[in-house]
Structure 1
């Protein structure tokens, strides 16, 4: 009698096997429904990319170029009074972007001359009085600065000065920056970096760290946009 009862107890394992076989499909079906949830992220990521502010209007300066390269953007966005949204957009504009864009605005030929290796020296001065802008290239070296002619003191006072080097691959590299710097009104001396502070005019600043140099270049780019130098007739000389 004990052995039959034992044999009936042996059949008990069938219950877990039947229950597990019945429950497993439910678990798989529920997990498969959860796996289908990820399609929601693609919809959000597809709407996240912001439109590029740059334009493909100059063959050697594509809008898709690296951030170290120069790009042309739409200047008409800055022709009206700036707003907070535009100020946010300004942060994406580098100094080299501002330079090539205003030169392209003068004419594509002007920008072509600035970039041409056959033109050894290029200098453009924007403005006749007040704050002026100089864009000056000799070979692969570029000097960019905003300045005021202090005729009574017989000096040029520069708000921002940035020196860069253009690589053969089209990349731009910061070499030197300074601010609130004064020089004799002699362009050869200015090119050589003969700057100094002026009594009563505040302290001259010379940046050494790369981040500080980049910050100076960014402020100069902002000033170029705020002053709207592209709306001034430039004096261009080449050699």
Structure 2
């Protein structure tokens, strides 16, 4: 996969919102279909954006990786990479981007050491088609999991109880709304500016 230097051509507006995309990465053109991933033009994506302005989750994900470095994004997208796992942040709310084969798991979480559990504020799972289409499979909120990465990947989440309850969506409209909320949180949180631990195999 080739990496292209930043394109100085104007960004292209997305069809569904006030957000716009760039041609900063060769294989993710701004004019690509809406169900593909795009690099967001960030000056127009700011903390004052509303929930209605949330980008697509795949756009927030690749934009985050690109702003860490184009080489990191290339590792994530490479068909020769079997497993890619990136954790942003060291405390408070962290971001996990994890790909195995064509499956992608993304979520914001807190590590509750006293409970020996991760609390995922928001979670989404994708399947990336060979044609570049990102298929949203499931979303959830307030999902707990034992602090074991194998259990996280296997989806062994549970409801811890208390004021908030775990919510799992399977209906397309609700999944897209939840994924948009996660995307907005990622972009507004500017996770690419945090310390990032990346493992690639």
Match of 2:139 among 156, 177, 200: 177
Match of 2:175 among 187, 210, 213: 213
Q: Which has the higher helix share?
A: 1
- Counterpart for residue 23 of structure 2: 56
Q: What is the TM-score of this pair, normalised by structure 2?
A: 0.87
Separation in structure 1 between the aligned mates of residue 52 and residue 81 of structure 2, nearest angstrom: 33
1:97-139 deviations in Å (ceiling 9; x for gaps): 0000010101111101100010000000000000000000000
Unaligned runs of 5+ in 2: 1-14
Cα drift, residue 200 of structure 1:
1.8
Cα drift, residue 195 of structure 1:
0.2
**How many residues are matched?**
186
**Which structure 2 residues correspond to residues 58-137 of structure 1 after superposition, within 5 A?**
58-78=25-45, 82-83=47-48, 86-87=49-50, 90-91=53-54, 93-137=55-99
Q: Helix, strand or coil for the counterpart of 1:164?
A: strand
Computing the radius of gyration from Cα coordinates, the structure with the larger value is: 1
Cα drift, residue 76 of structure 1:
4.3
Unaligned runs of 5+ in 1: 1-48
- Assess if the C-alpha contact under 8 Å between 2:21 and 2:41 holds in 1: yes
Match of 1:232 among 184, 194, 199: 194
> RMSD value over aligned CA atoms?
1.9
- Counterpart for residue 151 of structure 2: 189
Cα drift, residue 210 of structure 1:
0.8
User: Of the two structures, which has the highest relative contact order with CA contacts closer than 8 Å and spacing of 6 or more?
Assistant: 2
Separation in structure 1 between the aligned mates of residue 88 and residue 42 of structure 2, nearest angstrom: 16
Cα drift, residue 153 of structure 1:
1.1
